[in-house]
Homo-oligomer: A and B are copies of this chain.
Amino acid sequence: MPDRILRAISMQTIDHRGPAFADVGKRALEGMKSIFKTESHVIIYPASGTGAWEAALSNALSPGDKVLMFETGHFATLWSKLAGKLGLNAELIPGDWRGGADPDAIEARLKDDTAHEIKAVCVVHNETSTGSVSPVAAVRKAIDAANHPALFMVDTISGLASLDYRHDEWGVDVTVSGSQKGLMLPPGLSFNAVSEKALAAAKKSTMPRSYWSWDEMVGPNASGYFPYTPGTNLLYGLNEAIDMLHEEGLDNVFARHKRHGAATRAAVRAWGLEVLCAQQGQESGVLTAVLMPEGHSADAFRATTLENYDLSLGNGLSKVADKVFRIGHLGDFNDLMLMATLSGVEMGLRKAGVPHEAGGAQVAMDILSENQEQPTAAAAQ
């Protein structure tokens, strides 16, 4: 977490009903529109990402509604379970956890739904458990091709502000995100970007709710205030983060993550290991999940790198528990931090006696050197 942000969140809390607060609130609300790339509404919750998942579903839908989801991995599965707890009828298209959501499968299912029972299509943009990215614009096209009126909801909790994202252009109705990934903040804030269509749907929802209600937020937000106590200190940090992102330029941020993903995958392959994401073009710039060789425990390996190199790698979740480790390369991250990380993985593989070829870090250096010249071109994705 950048020092600038830690300093910002440790400023004295001001009165969230006092005159000075309006500026804090307005900067945050307007700033987040520029990050989501939307002209519509952004709702900021003093809650972590799971709350924003619940908010998206409970505002726009009613008990018993059917929602179509795609099993990209652990987090897509969790979201579908949460839908069930809210009394929704969640249908999860099965996936193999090795790529993003499949637009063709979604289109086929929607075409079958001639009665339009499906009220929302929900996909995870960047699946944190696998390092795969769903093709959001293509899913939009699939919905349109099926000529289906369902709302389109996207979770980009771990993708926003690291990967290209365009709420309005891609026709998303509700985008869900959180503070603790690309926004480089501690957890504690989460977001819904909400289209006019979703807002209209919310008027008809019968789901009991108050804390998550969009319509209670929209009024006070117009003048920079909130209907109940906001997460003031995290809002200070959010405003700092938005400034930092625009200072670097969002396209440069995206290009940086893309380069780091490419260099990481090259290292993984040079070590003779396999990247979990098997869909070319859907590999994440945020993190890379790596399959351990058969017979080796990913968690034992992770313990080795933590103990010997103070390097904390992500663990495999549920279906891939102990089978993968995850290399994060998101947020306030530069080439040398990546080299430190990849060197730590390589030294850890050696230390833990995991079969591998040496030289992955060296290969990553080659990739980084080659790709450094045209950050702007790279950003065009």
A residues near B (Cβ < 8 Å) are: 1, 3, 6-7, 9-13, 15-18, 45-51, 54, 58, 63, 82, 85-87, 178, 180, 186-188, 207-211, 213, 228-234, 308-312, 315, 334-337, 339-341, 343-344, 346-347, 350-351, 358-359, 361-362, 365, 368-369, 372
Contacts and interface: CB of A to CB of B under 8 A. Distances in A.
A186 B347 CA distance: 33
Contact of A339 (B209, B229, B340): B340
B365 A51 contact: no
A229 B86 contact: no
Contacts of A186: 13, 231-234
Given A85-B208, A308-B335, A359-B362, 18 more contacts: A9-B9, A10-B10, A45-B47, A46-B51, A51-B211, A54-B211, A63-B208, A86-B208, A86-B210, A180-B229, A187-B230, A188-B233, A188-B234, A310-B334, A336-B341, A339-B344, A343-B361, A347-B365
Contact of A368 (B45, B46, B347): B347
Number of copies: 4
Given A340-B336, A361-B361, A372-B308, A10 B7 contact: yes
Nearest to A19: B306
Contact of A10 (B9, B18, B335): B9
